[in-house]
Amino acid sequence: MGPMTIFDKSALQALSMDESVWFDAFFGVNVVPIFYIETLADLEKEMAEGKNAEDLVGMLAEKTPSNAYPNVHHSTLIAAELAGHAIAMDGRPVISAGEMMKGEDGSVGLRVEEFPEHTALLRWQEHDFLAVERALAKGWRVELAGHDLDRLLGMVRNILPAERKLSNLEQVKAFIDEFCSSSDPQVLALALEVLGVDDDHKRLGRQRWEGAGKPNFDEFFPYVCHVFKVDLLFYLGIERGFISGERASNKADMAYLYYLPFAAVFTSNDKLHQRTVPFFLSEDQSYLFADELKSSLSELDAHYSGLPARSRSSESWPLPLTRLPSWTTA
């Protein structure tokens, strides 16, 4: 199994069908919720004459790797961490499906038969879309259109010190890191408000934080802090003129960054991703331009296509494609 990878919709669209097969073969894939949401949203798009939205969604579903692991939604992870559950931010997807099982040797593992998201993708390939999925697609487009940017900008702009000069996004990110490395209760309160946490989890999170002696926010709630930092970079970047607030899709693009802790590689050709993703990568993570990924997969396709039929069979591939990765075992 290759490095665990997150891709955005544009990266997958750029691949040919053959290239997507090799992507599935040589990479572990974490499919994040925003990809499913964006793909479904295409059902509500007005397409150019002669094109069909269902054909587009079906094509994306067909290119999506079959050995992919769908990550739990970030809002669920935020609520879990506030409630006291540790979120592993070690490059492995966090999944919700599966059954805990104990082996004869006493080891415990997670057995996954089939993810619900994979079942949906198989239906989408056949242009079979449930009414609830169409409703979700419409709801997502309404949510993007109704994103109250002005309200959120008003909530965060006051944290910027008037005397501090921030000339680029790198300096904004450095300020954000300093701001979040704090035990000030106002920092936690602002984070919970910006992230839209419900009242019950706000109260639970504050109680746990106070009970622990009010440690630094970024140390006690590392995943909540990560998502908050992504949002702060977006909003403060807009406030200082480094990011455009005119494109509603920018908010959706930034949502991919919520899931960076759960992969080793992120691939995209999106310009906003190119500017922002590197700020959130650890030393053992990489940003891969989607054009570079496509070029490499094209070379692999040419190489394997030139081999005899027997050599192209799955039995001769260098990777055990049916083996579950080690992160599924406790």
The model's pLDDT over 92-105, given as tens digits with 9 standing for 90+, comes to 988 775 555 566 77
Instruction: State the pLDDT at residue 32.
Output: 86
Q: Express as a percent the part of the chain with pLDDT over 90.
A: 48
Residue that wins the pLDDT comparison between 115 and 160: 160
Pick from 13-22, 95-104, 158-167: least confident: 95-104
Name the β-bridge partners of 122: none
Q: How far apart are CA 75 and CA 231, in angstroms?
A: 13
- Residue 325: which of 264, 257, 268 has the closest Cα? 264
The pLDDT, as a whole number, for residue 259 is: 96
Distance from C-alpha of 255 to C-alpha of 227, rounded to nearest angstrom: 9
What tens digit of pLDDT does each residue of 319-328 get?
Answer: 333 333 333 3
Band of pLDDT at residue 306, cut at 50, 70 and 90: confident
Dump pLDDT digits (tens) for 249-258. Answer: 788 899 999 9
Mean pLDDT of 110-133: 57
Select the highest-mean-pLDDT range: 60-64, 153-157, 159-163, 220-224: 220-224
Backbone angles phi, psi at 198, to 5 degrees: -70, 160
Select the more confidently predicted residue: 119 or 70.
70
Distance linking the first and last C-alpha atoms of the chain = 18
Nearest-angstrom CA–CA distance, 286 and 277: 9
pLDDT, tens digit, for every residue of 56-115?
A: 777 777 888 877 788 888 988 999 999 999 999 999 988 775 555 566 776 655 555 555
Q: Return the pLDDT at 16.
A: 92
When pLDDT is averaged across residues 226-247 and rounded to a whole number, the result is 93
Calpha distance 196→130 (Å, rounded): 29
Query: What mean pLDDT is reported for the chain?
Result: 81
Assign 329 a pLDDT band (cuts: 50, 70, 90): very low
Task: Tell me which residue of 231, 279, 304, 266 sits closest to 75, measured CA to CA.
Answer: 231
Query: DSSP characters for 304-324?
Result: HHTS-GGGGSGGGSSS-TTSP
Pure H helices in 169-289: 169-180, 185-194, 199-211, 217-220, 222-239, 249-255, 271-276
Judge contact between 30 and 267, C-beta under 8 A.
Answer: no
User: What's the rounded Cα separation, in Å, for the pair 190 and 162?
Assistant: 19
CA–CA dist 135, 131 (Å, integer): 6
State the average pLDDT over residues 248-274: 93
Query: 131 or 24: which carries more pLDDT confidence?
Result: 24
Residue 97: both structure tokens together = 């499906």
Mean pLDDT of 305-314: 64
* DSSP annotation string for 264-284: SEEEE--HHHHHHGGGG--TT
Give yes or no for residue 169 having a pLDDT over 80.
yes
The average pLDDT across 260-265 equals 96
